[in-house]
Structure 1
Amino acid sequence: MPSMPESRQSTHPSPDLAARARGIRVLLFDVDGVLTDGGVYVHGDGSESKRFDIKDGAGIVIARRAGLVVGLISARQSASTAHRARQLGLDLVQQGVTDKAAALADLMATHGWPAESIAYMGDDVVDLPVMRRVGLAACPADAVPEVRASAHLVSSCPGGRGAARALIEDILRAQGRWDALIDADRRP
């Protein structure tokens, strides 16, 4: 895989990326390939399961504590996704979405969110219409080439292995809020 310019990796954000991150108030994530490694385990009884990363989940909890809106937009319908969203306290969960751009437009209209206040992390071509409309488009390291080429930020982490957490940290650090959030957890 060709390496990405340093300014596109989450470990070395560019000034443009930091400026974009400072304006983010809403974080939206695809699920399969972003919050999971993209694998779906199909059991003999027809049920499915997925692997979610605990650090990604902890990052989502921190983002919510910071006052950011966090939501999921997934093309697949999955009981595992619904269960994980409940565990994380997410109310904004859209599954079975065939047109992610239309879903984004509906959310923006309903909540009055300007595009530049939204960050979205996706990994495959179905995510491109959303990524092209938001203020900060991000993807995991193992996203498909077209998505990596369209992203403002390519994480150094693969999907389901900390990519969402890295994005959250980058945004909160750019906003000057990360250290205070972490220090609050250390107080007795």
Structure 2
Amino acid sequence: MNASPLTVAERASRVKLMIFDVDGVLTDGGLLFTAEGDTMKSFNSLDGHGLKLLREAGIVTAIITGRKSGIVQVRAQEIRINHLYQGVEDKRRAFADLLTATGVAREECGYMGDDWPDLAVMLQCGFAAAPANAHPEVISRAHWVSHARGGHGAARELCETILRAQNRYDALLAAACGA
């Protein structure tokens, strides 16, 4: 007898390590350049707080991104991302390194990506997520797709989905309210 496929809630309830791409997921994907050639990115504060909530709930957070940016380093430190991989050409290799470093099984990992370079990792994780404006090939392979666009609350929506599936959302909200 074949087991039924896991529901989104079941997949989200198993997440112990949540990994995010940056451009198009934690940002809107736009790149602004100064006259000196420096890159600027805009991060959503709601998304950042969602990642902090995951950490408070005991979920390890990570970023795997193809670009290398001092801005991403600063943002990752600010919201206390556990593991940061930048300038990654082979996201599969970074993912394998991350699994070794954390001891978390692939089925207990989530990954939120928006474009083809993310697919190799998304397809190995137990919970693959995408923002609403991700490439159609990514959306078609994701277990869960946000209503929000990348850089505009998609990551926060995902974080809250995980926290609800793990029955941690209400306690974190109560703590924020001072209860």
Same fold (TM over 0.5): yes
Match of 1:85 among 76, 82, 86: 76
- The 4+ residue runs of structure 1 with deviation greater than 6 A are none
Aligned residues: 175
What TM-score do the two structures reach when normalised by structure 2? 0.95
Shift of 1:116: 1.1
- Deviation per residue, 1:130-179 (Å, 9 max, x gap): 00000100000000010000100011110000110011100110111101
Residue 94 of structure 2 aligns with an amino acid whose one-letter code is A
Structure 1 unaligned segments of length 5 or more: list them: 1-13
Could you tell me which residue of structure 2 aligns to residue 57 of structure 1?
A: 48
Alignment partner, residue 142 of structure 2: 151
Partner of 2:173 in structure 1? 182
* Residue 110 of structure 1, CA deviation: 2.6
Asked if the contact 2:68–2:87 (Cα under 8 Å) also holds between the matched residues in 1, the reply is yes
- Percent of aligned pairs with the same residue? 46
Q: CA RMSD in A?
A: 1.3
Structure 2 contact 111–129 (Cα < 8 Å) conserved = yes
Query: Superposed, which structure 2 residues align to 1:1-188 within 5 Å?
Result: 16-187=7-178
Output the amino acid matched with 1:129.
A
Shift of 1:15: 6.9
Q: 1:105 offset after TM fit, Å?
A: 1.1
Match of 1:11 in 2: none
1:46 deviates by: 1.3
- The residue that corresponds to 1:7 in the other structure is none
Distance 2:67 2:169 in 1: 32
TM-score (normalizing by structure 1): 0.90
Distance 1:107 1:85 in 2: 16
Please give the secondary structure, in 2, of the residue aligned with 1:119: strand
Cα offset, 1:111, TM superposition: 2.0
User: CA separation in 1, counterparts of 2:105 and 2:36?
Assistant: 44
Q: Secondary structure in 1 aligned to 2:175?
A: helix
- In 2, the alpha carbon distance for the partners of 1:110 and 1:89 equals 17
Q: Which amino acid aligns with 1:95?
A: Q
Shift of 1:96: 0.3
Distance 1:33 1:184 in 2: 31
Aligned amino acid, residue 10 of structure 2? A
